[in-house]
Amino acid sequence: MPRLKEMVETLRAALDQRDAATVRQLAHKLKGSAGTLGFHGFTEPAQRLTDAVRATDWPLAEQALSEMESTARRVVAPQAED
């Protein structure tokens, strides 16, 4: 998935800064892109992240983003070895 690592890093920075608008926008974009490309491991955590930020539930948002970061590492790592 193009730019996955960068998107997740930007999401992390936005969440760390409690930039709710940016987190919602990027999570929504990642959810759609991932679903289209068949990376369904991102769709549910991205929705939870969006919902958590909308509700200002930062601990839940952290949990959802951590799950997405873990999934991204598994997706990106095999490509780096090619």
- CA nearest neighbour of 56 among 26, 9, 15: 15
Instruction: For the full predicted model, state whether its pTM sits above 0.85.
Output: no
The whole-angstrom separation of Cα 8 and Cα 66 is 10
Q: How far is CA 30 from the centre of its chain?
A: 6
pLDDT along the chain (82 residues), means of 10: 81 96 93 81 91 96 95 71 47
Plot region of 59 (φ>0 → left; ψ -120 to 50 → alpha; else → beta): alpha
Two tokens at 73? 């590492």
Tokens representing 14?
A: 């936005």
